[in-house]
Structures are given as structure tokens and as C-alpha cells.
Amino acid sequence: MLVSFEHVSLRYPCGRTVLDDINLALMPGLFYFLTGASGAGKSSLLRLIYQMEKPSAGRVTLFDRDTAQLYRHEYPALRRRLGIVFQDFRLVPHLSALENAALPLRLAGAERLDVEQHVKELLQWVGLGDRLHALPSELSGGEQQRVSIARAIVNKPRLLLADEPTGNVDDESAQKLMHLFLELNKMGTTVIFATHQKDLVRRYAKPILRLRGGRLITAREEAA
Amino acid sequence: MGMPSNLFATAFSQQRLGLMFSIIMVLMVYLGTLAIAAQAVLARTALTWGYDLQSRLTVEIPFIPDEDPLLKATKRDKMIAALRAMPEVADVTLIKDDETRRLLQSWIDDAALLDALPLPQLLDVTVKVGAALEPDAMQRALVKQVGEAQVYSHAGWMDKLFGFLTGLGVIAAVMLVLTAFAVVTVISVVCRAALVVQHDTIELLYFMGAPDHAIAKQFQKHIQALAIPASLIGFALAVLTIAMLVFMLSSLGGLSLIAPLSWVTVGGMMTLIPVGGASLAIVAARVSLLKHLRRLG
């Protein structure tokens, strides 16, 4: 099991319940859509996976490790097995596309020449071979998101978390990005793709995790 | 291959954090260097003066108007002989009238007045190391054996001066400690502000699996790049100030007030400040960053 949630709840100190009694088990190699309206708890669920939140109740298991048993110094190694793509790209503004995409490899201590070669190939694969040295401010939204995807997969993660990756780009760019995620999934990476765009989800026959008011619901419940 | 060196480059340029830090560091090293130089000079002077003067007495043979010079000389020689006969006395030196006049010239520049002054005859007495000699008992013995004499001990006023110099030395040391404390506090505030400025980048690095120490190391490099030149500038300014003080003191003829001491020793102690200051800044930055990062991550 790649990720499992057992009776997981997340409550903020103010008393607001963000996630309520979530149970799920994600198999490796699949592509999951995580859907729900804004505020349904999609980002919070992802934050629980990448260890930026701790559950108020229940158990989160990641790569067969109970995350409650993890020590702080074990987080970095765990997070390096994940790739994360954000809606707002989160690129470092004064670093080029090449430098941004290379960050995870440099953090892992890879050799400079290996890093450059690998990252150039990756940026070519996402269609940015001619924009290697461009700053984020010189790239369109779709291009920035492609740099962000390259950065997320540069370490060959087992699990790719995408939090509304097409939320800030036009339809054409969204299609191209979607194509990249599907390609990655074909290559064996498990993908959790959070989105509120129902038409996008309908186009692809993939398993769907539906969130409403912090609870996982079935397709029938959603239709009702 | 680590993180890009310019990853947090903007952290210290925003809100002029780097400039503010550099200015404070220059001031701290400047004050610290002056404090340690003052401490070294004062401690050495107090020790030397204390050693020299506590073992010495001055015997005064009062001036008698129209005294026969021959009688005056005989009385003086008898006094010297009586003093030398005392087992506690190591040495007796006559302070010549010319020398006494020269000492008074600093305060009285009217030569006629100086010549007219009724100057007593002075004897500089050095007591043997460890000998217990009571000035009052000595005076009584001299009066009994030779005639009128006054014995002045330096210990009384020397104790006060010694206390004063020691007090100044303590103030300098306290100033040094306070300066170090101020450096640590400023660094903690600057690091915290820099982390706030770079919060998004730090969070991103966490997502990518960066450990605390790798992030702290990047910030630490920037602190190092600011602290080393700032320390050198502060040190250079302090050396310049000390050189000016020494020049002024020597031109006023007051350099002899300071005990002779090795300027290499003082220079060595002063060098500890920029080296120590920069090291303290780097260590304090690392500790502070790791503490703040633990709260963030």
C-alpha cells in the first residue's frame, strides 16, 4: 500500500473540522483524481500526505510507515520520495527554469554535470528545451507549471501529488499538462491529481476520490 | 553539489536587513575592540603601579628657613644612614632638589616662584619584598634618631587608585560581555526576519526534502559573508581610534602614565575581537536559524 488513511480527521485549534473520518487506501501505479469544491479539504488531505499537517485523529500510513511514528529527521528522506506540484507553481523567482527544476537533485547532493544533463533532458521532455535560462517572470503560466512538474519529477518520485495544477492556466495549457501527468503515470508514477474542474475529471476514466465538507463520499452521494 | 548559493540572496537585501546587520556588527566589533584594549592596558597599569608603589615610601625632611646648608646636608645623610640601617629597607634614594622642581614645573611655570618655594628634602625608600614596615613606627624611629621627618606611605591612595583602575577594567569586561550579548540578540532578530522574508522558499525546500541543517547552512553563508567584512571594518576603525589616542596621549606627555606593556600582547588580544565576533555571529546564526526552523517545519 502506497498511502492509507484510517479514520483520519483534521481539526484546527479554532475548532473547525477540515477532514472528518477519512478512510482510503491508494494502490501504487494508479492515477487518482481528488475532487471537491473549494474548501472541501483537498489541499489538507495532500498536506497530510506530505507531512505538513498532523492528523488530529486516526492513522496515516505512507510507504508502509505509520507517519505518527516518524521522527523529525526522517521527514526529508520521506519527502524526497514524493513530488509535489502546486496551483501557484511556487518557483523561486530569481532562479532560472533550469535552476528551479534542478533544486531537488542539488538538495540530494547529485553531481553538477549529471544534474545539468538530466534536468535539460527533462525540461525538453516537458517542452521547455528552449527556455532553460528563462526566469519564472519571463514564462507563461503554463510554462511555469511545466517547470514545476519537471522539478516535482526530477527525483523520480514514487508518488506525485498535484494540487490544482491546472487551476491557473488556460484550457489548452491544461490539456498539455494533463497529458504530461498521464505520461508520467504510464511510466509507473502514482499520481494524485486534486482538482475542482469536473469536466476535466469526466474526460478520463480514472479512480476518483470525492470530498465534500471534509468527508469522502461515493459517486451516488455526489449525484444526490 | 549543494543548494544554489544565491537561493536566499534576497533575504538580506529586503528591508535592508544585511545593511542593518553589517552596521551593528561594525559598531559591536569597534566597541568590543576598544573595550578589550582598555581592559588590557588598565589591568597591566594597575598591576605595575600596585607592585611599584605599594613597596615604596617617601620620607620628607621639612624645610627650615635660613638653615645652614652644611647642617642640612649632615641631617640628610644621617637620615639616609638611619633608613639604610633598618632591616626592612632595601634601598634609599635621595630625590635631588632639581628633580623636585622638575616635578613641580607641570603645575608652576613661574621660575621665580618655583625658586622661592620652601622645598623639603625628599627620600625615596624601597621596602624589601614581604617586609612589614609601619610608616608611623618608621617616623617615630627617625624622629628619635635624627630629627623632624614625615613618612608618607603610597599604599593608602594607591589602594583607591588600584580600586578605580580595577573598576574601569571590570566595566570594560562587562562592556565586552554586553557587546557579545547584543551581537547574539541582533543576529537572532535578523535571522528570524530573514526566515520570514524567505518563508515560501523555505517551505518549498521542506517539500523537496531539505533538512533543517542544509537550509540553515545557506543562511549561515550569507551571515558569514556579511559578518567577516563588517568585523574587519570595525576592527580597523578601533585600531585607528587607539592609534589616535596613543598619539594624543604621547603629545601631551601622558604616555608614561600607562605601564610599559607589550603592544604585541595588546594587539593579539584586540585581534581576538574581530575573529571572535565573526565566529560568534556565525555560531549564533546557526543556533538561532535551527531554533526558528524547528518552529517553521
Distances (CA, A) of B93 to B51, B69, B72: 18, 19, 17
What is the nearest CA distance from B291 to chain A, expressed in angstroms? 13
Is residue B231 predicted with pLDDT exceeding 70?
yes
- Quick one: three-class SS letters along chain A? CCEEEEEEEEECCCCCEEEEEEEEEECCCCEEEEECCCCCCHHHHHHHHCCCCCCCEEEEEECCEEHHHCCHHHHHHHHCCEEEEECCCCCCCCCCHHHHHHHHHHHCCCCHHHHHHHHHHHHHHCCCCCCCCCCHHHCCHHHHHHHHHHHHHCCCCCEEEEECCCCCCCHHHHHHHHHHHHHHHHCCCEEEEEECCHHHHHCCCCCEEEEECCEEECHHHHHC
Contact A200, A178 (CB under 8 A): yes
pLDDT of residue A92: 92
B-chain residue closest to A86, CA distance = B204
- Average pLDDT of the residues in A172-182: 87
- Domain total of chain A: 1
Rg over CA atoms, chain B: 31
- Average pLDDT of the residues in A210-216: 92
Distance CA B270, CA B276 (A): 10
pLDDT of residue B261: 57
Can you say whether the dihedral through the CA atoms of B278, B280, B282, B284 is positive or negative? negative
Q: Which three cell numbers stand for residue B98?
A: 632639581
Cross-chain residue pair B1–A90, CB shorter than 8 Å:
no
Is residue A29 predicted with pLDDT exceeding 90?
yes
Distance CA A120, CA A136 (A): 16
**Average pLDDT for chain B:** 82
Q: Tens digit of pLDDT for each residue in A84-112?
A: 999 899 999 989 999 999 999 988 887 77
Contact residues, chain A, for B202 at CB < 8 Å: none
Strand partners of residue A161: A84, A192
Strand partners of residue A84: A161
Q: Residue ranges per domain, chain B?
A: 14-50+159-296, 63-148
Question: Which residue among A77, A92, A151 places its CB closest to the CB of B209?
Answer: A77
Cross-chain residue pair A112–B1, CB shorter than 8 Å:
yes
Q: Which three cell numbers stand for residue A111?
A: 553531481
Can you say whether the dihedral through the CA atoms of B134, B136, B142, B148 is positive or negative? positive
CATH number at residue A94: 3.40.50.300
pLDDT of residue A114: 79
pLDDT of residue B52: 67
Distance CA B86, CA B63 (A): 24
DSSP conformation class of B126: E
pLDDT of residue A32: 96
Q: Residues 6 or more apart from A119 whose CB is under 8 A from it? A: A98, A101, A102, A105, A150, A154
Cross-chain residue pair B209–A50, CB shorter than 8 Å:
no
pLDDT of residue A27: 92
Query: Does A100 fall in a domain?
Result: yes
Query: Does A95 fall in a domain?
Result: yes
Query: Does A71 fall in a domain?
Result: no
Is residue A8 predicted with pLDDT exceeding 80?
yes
Contact residues, chain A, for B6 at CB < 8 Å: 94-95
Q: Tens digit of pLDDT for each residue in A137-164?
A: 999 999 999 999 999 999 889 999 999 9
Contact residues, chain B, for A82 at CB < 8 Å: 207
Contact residues, chain A, for B294 at CB < 8 Å: 72
Higher pLDDT, B21 or B254: B21
Query: Does A69 fall in a domain?
Result: no
Window 4-63 of B: residues touching A by CB (8 A cutoff) are: 4, 6-7, 9-10
Give the pLDDT band of residue A170 (cuts 50, 70, 90). confident
Cross-chain residue pair B1–A80, CB shorter than 8 Å:
no
Q: What is the dihedral of CA B111, B113, B114, B115, to 10 degrees?
A: 90
pLDDT of residue A123: 94
What does DSSP say about strands A190-195 and A17-26: parallel, antiparallel, or unpaired? unpaired
Structural domain for A100, as ranges: 28-53+77-223
Question: A181-190, B115-124, B226-235: which has the minimum mean pLDDT?
Answer: B115-124
A-chain residue closest to B5, CA distance = A95
pLDDT of residue B207: 87
Query: Does A1 fall in a domain?
Result: no
Cross-chain residue pair A107–B7, CB shorter than 8 Å:
no
Helix (H, G, I), strand (E, B) or coil at B85: helix
What is the nearest CA distance from B289 to chain A, expressed in angstroms? 16
What is the nearest CA distance from A25 to chain B, expressed in angstroms? 22
pLDDT of residue A62: 94
Residue A179, CA atoms < 13 Å, CB-side half-sphere: 11
Residue B190, CA atoms < 13 Å, CB-side half-sphere: 31
Query: Does A89 fall in a domain?
Result: yes
Contact B11, B17 (CB under 8 A): yes
**Chain A interface includes B260 (CB < 8 A):** no
Question: A162-176, B205-219, B245-259: which has the minimum mean pLDDT?
Answer: B245-259
Question: Which residue among A84, A109, A110 places its CB closest to the CB of B207?
Answer: A84
Question: A69-73, A210-214, B149-153, B259-263: which has the minimum mean pLDDT?
Answer: B259-263
Distance CA B226, CA B220 (A): 10
First to last CA, chain B: 23
Compute the 3-state secondary structure of chain B and give helix, strand, coil in percent, each to the nearest 5: 70, 10, 20
Distances (CA, A) of B3 to A107, A110, B190: 6, 10, 21
Higher pLDDT, A209 or B37: A209
Give the pLDDT band of residue B257 (cuts 50, 70, 90). low
- Which residue's C-alpha cell is 487518482? A32
Contact residues, chain B, for A77 at CB < 8 Å: 209
- Average pLDDT of the residues in A50-66: 93
Burial B197-236 (b: 16+ CB within 10 A, else e): bbeebbebbbbbbbbbebbbebbbbbbeebbbebbebbbe
Cross-chain residue pair B210–A107, CB shorter than 8 Å:
yes
Is residue A19 predicted with pLDDT exceeding 90?
yes
What is the nearest CA distance from A162 to chain B, expressed in angstroms? 13
DSSP conformation class of B3: S
Q: Which three cell numbers stand for residue B262?
A: 607589550
Give the pLDDT band of residue B253 (cuts 50, 70, 90). low
Query: Does A22 fall in a domain?
Result: no
